[in-house]
């Protein structure tokens, strides 16, 4: 039972354009959502998060949108850069339980020159 789903295994985007990565969840109890970026042979690194009381959070080139009614969130990267090429994981948890993250399967983003 996959509670957090990333249905696109891969995405290719031209440098300078927008990258949109999507994530769906089924457990309505989740109230905190995070995006992690992972390079090969490294651990995941935190990118951006959003609480369920918000519908948008921005940090520089990265924006996360949350649609609670649709149980859907998306990560927008504008403009995309070659260094953004990595695997992106969506994760969800309950507030106060950062030790228990439920991850999606990841989307591999390739930003082309």
Partner 1 sequence: NAGVTQTPKFQVLKTGQSMTLQCAQDMNHEYMSWYRQDPGMGLRLIHYSVGAGITDQGEVPNGYNVSRSTTEDFPLRLLSAAPSQTSVYFCASSRTGGTTEAFFGQGTRLTVV
Q: Which residues bind partner 1 (CB under 8 A)?
A: 4, 6, 32, 34, 36, 41-46, 49, 51, 89, 91, 95-96, 98-106
Smallest distance, partner 1 to C-beta of residue 64, A: 13
Smallest distance, partner 1 to C-beta of residue 51, A: 5
Q: What is the DSSP string of 13-82?
A: EETTS-EEEEEEE--TT--EEEEEEE-TTS--EEEEEEETT-SEEEETTEEEEEETTTTEEEEEESS--G
Please provide the size of the chain in residues: 113
Q: How far apart are CA 47 and CA 38, in angstroms?
A: 10
Q: Which of 21, 109, 31 is nearest to 71 (CA)?
A: 31
Identify which of residues 19 and 89 has a Cβ nearer to partner 1 in the complex: 89
Identify which of residues 72 and 103 has a Cβ nearer to partner 1 in the complex: 103
Identify which of residues 6 and 80 has a Cβ nearer to partner 1 in the complex: 6
Smallest distance, partner 1 to C-beta of residue 107, A: 11
Smallest distance, partner 1 to C-beta of residue 79, A: 24
């Amino acid at each position: 039972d996959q509670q957090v789903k990333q249905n696109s295994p891969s995405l290719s985007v031209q440098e300078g354009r927008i990258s949109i990565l999507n994530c769906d969840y089924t457990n309505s109890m989740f109230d905190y959502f995070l995006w992690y970026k992972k390079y090969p042979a490294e651990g995941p690194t935190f990118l951006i998060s959003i609480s369920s009381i918000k519908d948008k959070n921005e940090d520089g080139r990265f924006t996360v949108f949350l649609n609670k009614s649709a149980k859907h969130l998306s990560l927008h990267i504008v403009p995309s850069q070659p260094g953004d090429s990595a695997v992106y994981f969506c994760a969800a948890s309950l507030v106060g339980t950062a030790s228990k993250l439920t991850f999606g399967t990841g989307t591999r983003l390739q930003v082309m020159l």
